[in-house]
Structure 1
Amino acid sequence: MSRKVVLITGTSSGIGLAAAISAAEAGWRTIATLRDPARADALRKAAETAGVELDIRQLDVTDASSVTAAIEGVVADYGRLDAVVNNAGAGHVGTIENETVEDVRRVMEVNFFGVVQVSKAALPHLRAVGGRLITVTSVGGVVGQPFNEAYCAAKFAVEGFMESLAPVAAKLGVAVSVVEPGAVASEFVSNLGIDPAALIAAAGPYAAPLQAYATRTQTMFADSAQTPAQAAEAVLEALTAEQPAFRIQTSEWARAFTGTKLADLDGSKALGLTGAYLD
């Protein structure tokens, strides 16, 4: 019962799965949660291969009762909750003229309000042990990217929320960090559930820049995407460092990319960089 306990959301694949395995290997009692338990096969297989034990539970970040039940259940079973990793999220490609405001609301619900809901439920327990609240955001939470308006808006919101919360939480003993991946070779892109050709065909006047963006993105993922395990190293750093940084990028590329914005006081460099994606 003395082992530290971490709850991780969105562990069916990608960074969440890799982070769950890494945390368990590092000695954490790891509660690996996912919205649909029927999708836990890859997670179970990875745990078996690594020779680690995971406690796999259902948690839907958009369902308040699911969030409460999961977190209260962990505390009831283990007597503590030392860390939470907000990893669950969903990508989205589109531009506002071609989609509805409801489309944007749905993206915000999963990627922003889901994080808020889990964090709120976890904070009393993290406060009790001087724990850690870690959220996987994206380089898209620092630099807005074409045809990712809703997704980047949600990630910007998460970064602003956590950056504002961090000094308050620190006064009460809770360390807050955000982890910013770039391209990661996982099921994240395939889980978008879109047909790029159909999306471009339906884009009207946006078709040419959307085609340019899609080509650039496909090339980037093919050439320089990290593995989920590599990206998860930053999550483990946030879990285990004596004094974790607030903002942790997962690669040199991510550091350079976000650095463009963070050192760009008037915004011209960031817009020049992303505008070139459309040429």
Structure 2
Amino acid sequence: MSLPPASAAATPPASRRAGRRRRILVRITATGRHTTLLALAVLFLAPLLWTAWASVRGPRAAGGAEGVGLDNYRRLAEYGAGLPQYTANSLVVSLLTVAGTLTAATLGGYAAARFRFPGRDLLFLVTLGILMVPYPTLLVPLYVLLGRLGLENSHLGLALVLTMFQLPFALFMMRNAFDGVPRDLDEAALIDGCGPVRTLVRVLIPVVVPAMVTVGLFAFLASWNEFIAPLMLLSDDSLLTLPTALAAMRSSSHGAIDFGALQAGVIVSAVPCTALFLLLQRHYVRGFTSGALKG
């Protein structure tokens, strides 16, 4: 007669039953969590998937016959100055906004976190105070200011306005990121002969890259999808960004709305944002937690 293993004989039946119950509970919890996440993913993706399907389905999408086709995208591409032109305009404005936001927020966050000077905290609070003001109320005086600077109806002027709107959040993020970096790194760099600028460029920026990615991603998404500021600050049709071009397309046909072309425009607008977020999501999450723990 074979004997049971020593470990099984040494383990009481009650403990084995408790262990099985714990494993079953862990599996049930994991299954419920995965099911919930899957349901949320379907809930959030369903409108975008339906829009993608509607953009290629129907008589206007298939050249007059019921079926699947790309005529909606063709009409979108041929509208006004052309889809490539509007997409390029949005890309130029977004990249200028990202560059300006990252430069100003990185330098400002470094100064606010590492240097002490009169009015530092007041200046930081005033910058954050921009968040308290509804930004559409600032567009009229900004339009007048851009006109006096000779930057009206230009992508550069629009990018400067969008950079100002992004600066409070970006400065807050970068200050927290620099505060989360131990000051020992600064002291070691100073001992090695680095000045403040070389310390920032060679030592601190590589550490706060996740926060910079988060700031840059927010600036890109906000400027790419911005509608009100380009609508007020741009008047030349060839300079319009993609959201304003889609709005003009919606209202330019004497009340007849081409929903198929608009749905195609929604897909074209969403693809760059979705791809960029999926590409940078790991840095995005790390950037939000980079200033959570200090030292």
The structure richer in strand per residue is 1
Give me the TM-score of the superposition, normalised by structure 2. Answer: 0.24
Give me the TM-score of the superposition, normalised by structure 1. Answer: 0.25
Which protein is bigger by CA-based radius of gyration?
2
Greater relative contact order structure (CA < 8 Å, 6+ sep): 2
The structure richer in helix per residue is 2
